[in-house]
């Protein structure tokens, strides 16, 4: 699953949405599909319940479809510069292109070219906690790299509102003590996230996880804990780190027995007691989930530390996004589901199937409609 974090997570904290309890701006869910070998974007804006519901309306909820010039790497969204609308960000192999709510590619903001002639592997958009400015972080690699050659990997961090590159951090080489046993080309970055000031990422070497925290405000860039310039050796931790994310103005990490804040010299107090494998987070909302499992766990800082389980259907979520009206949307096979994650009055939430069937769906996000 491609980990995507949208503008909705911060918007939930600012507006105090409670899912179905409050009115919301009209939204469209955007899904990338492959139909008969052609990659397309589908906008779904007139959603109905499934046919078994007495409220079912057979009207086709897909109101817009456009062809893509190439297979996408992922979808995300970001606030427009005037903060009045959201823009869709579509990642392709060597560039990221902004689309409006009508799925038209935009000349401004201009497309972002992947640096150093590399290709995009995955990306996410987070909102900086100091001012709500969107920050792109992406894993890039040499185009056409062999499956087990990660020597060209790098992490690219870009401030979207400022239209400015913050950093390109090459995949650090292993410490000299283990370099003879595991060459750098065989070590991959597998979890990452970034704010305006910090980049967090992890590596797995010889059964041990290593955590990196890069200070983006220093020149040259420096790594915690000892401030040496990159490439630097990460901090080993007991147990595997499955993912890293942002929550409550800091970094968090998913370990075997739960989610912890990234704290100097220790793991800190456990935030979620669940064996999650991937994270979505913001200043007010933290979601941990297992892609192939049947539930994810939600921690809401706004609801005084309330923890809730949201149950998915068999097979889990293929891709997941959170819209500004307080819903989680996820793909399961060819179906689209919705679950209320901001309505914190209930302990357990069951998802609602939408009356739409999609051909080979891969990624999804959302846009605010006019």
pLDDT tier at 176, thresholds 50, 70, 90: very low
Query: In 10 A of CB 342, how many CB atoms?
Result: 28
Q: What is the pLDDT of residues 227-257, one digit of tens each?
A: 566 555 566 666 788 899 888 778 888 888 8
Cβ neighbours of 370 (radius 10 Å)? 9
Summarised one tens digit per residue, pLDDT across range 97-112 is 999 999 999 998 999 9
Residues 6+ away with beta carbon under 8 Å from 55: 48, 49
Q: Give the whole-angstrom CA distance, residue 254 versus residue 242.
A: 5
Does pLDDT of 31 surpass 90? yes
Q: What are the tens digits of pLDDT across the range 262-294? A: 876 556 788 887 777 888 777 677 888 776 666
Mean pLDDT of 36-57: 72
For the chain, domains (ranges, CATH) are: 8-368 (2.130.10.10)
Q: Please give the share of the chain, as a percent, with pLDDT higher than 70.
A: 69
Of 42-46, 70-74, 102-106, the one with minimum mean pLDDT is 42-46
54 Ramachandran zone, left/alpha/beta (phi>0; psi -120 to 50) = alpha
Q: For position 141, what pLDDT does the model report?
A: 95
Structure tokens at 254: 């998913």
Integer angstrom CA distances of residue 322 from 7, 143, 198, 226, 277: 9, 31, 23, 37, 18
> Residue 99: phi, psi to the nearest 5?
-120, 150
Phi, psi of 157 (to 5 degrees): -120, 130
Confidence of residue 115 (pLDDT cuts 50, 70, 90): very high
């Amino acid at each position: 699953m491609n980990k995507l974090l949208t503008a909705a997570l911060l918007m939930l904290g600012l507006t105090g949405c409670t899912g179905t309890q409050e009115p919301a701006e009209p939204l469209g869910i955007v899904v990338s599909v492959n139909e008969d070998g052609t990659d397309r974007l589908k906008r779904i804006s007139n959603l109905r319940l499934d046919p078994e519901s007495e409220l079912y309306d057979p009207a086709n909820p897909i109101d817009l479809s456009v062809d893509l010039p190439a297979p996408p790497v992922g979808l995300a969204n970001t606030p427009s510069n005037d903060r009045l609308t959201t823009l869709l960000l579509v990642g392709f192999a060597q560039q990221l292109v902004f689309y409006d709510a009508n799925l038209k590619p935009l000349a401004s903001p201009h497309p972002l070219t992947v640096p150093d002639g590399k290709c995009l592997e995955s990306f996410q958009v987070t909102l900086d906690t100091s001012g709500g400015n969107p920050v792109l972080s992406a894993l890039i690699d040499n185009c056409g790299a062999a499956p087990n050659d990660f020597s060209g990997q790098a992490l690219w961090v870009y401030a979207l509102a400022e239209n400015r590159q913050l950093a390109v951090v090459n995949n650090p080489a292993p410490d000299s003590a283990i370099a003879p046993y595991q060459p750098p080309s065989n070590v991959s970055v597998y979890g990452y996230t970034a704010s305006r000031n910090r980049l967090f990422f992890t590596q797995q070497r010889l059964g041990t996880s290593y955590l990196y925290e890069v200070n983006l405000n220093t020149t040259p860039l420096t790594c915690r804990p000892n401030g040496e310039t990159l490439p630097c050796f990460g901090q080993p931790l007991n147990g595997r780190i499955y993912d890293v994310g942002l929550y409550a103005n800091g970094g968090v990490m998913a370990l075997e027995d739960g989610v912890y804040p990234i704290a100097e010299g220790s793991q800190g107090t456990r935030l979620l007691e669940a064996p999650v494998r991937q994270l979505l987070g913001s200043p007010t909302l933290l979601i941990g989930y297992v892609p192939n499992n049947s539930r994810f766990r939600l921690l809401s800082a706004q609801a005084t530390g309330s923890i809730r389980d949201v149950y998915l259907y068999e097979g889990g979520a293929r891709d997941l996004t959170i819209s500004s009206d307080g819903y989680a949307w996820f793909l399961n096979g060819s179906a689209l589901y919705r679950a209320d994650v901001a309505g914190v009055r209930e302990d357990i939430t069951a998802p609602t199937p939408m009356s739409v069937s999609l051909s080979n769906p891969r990624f999804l996000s959302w846009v605010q409609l006019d």
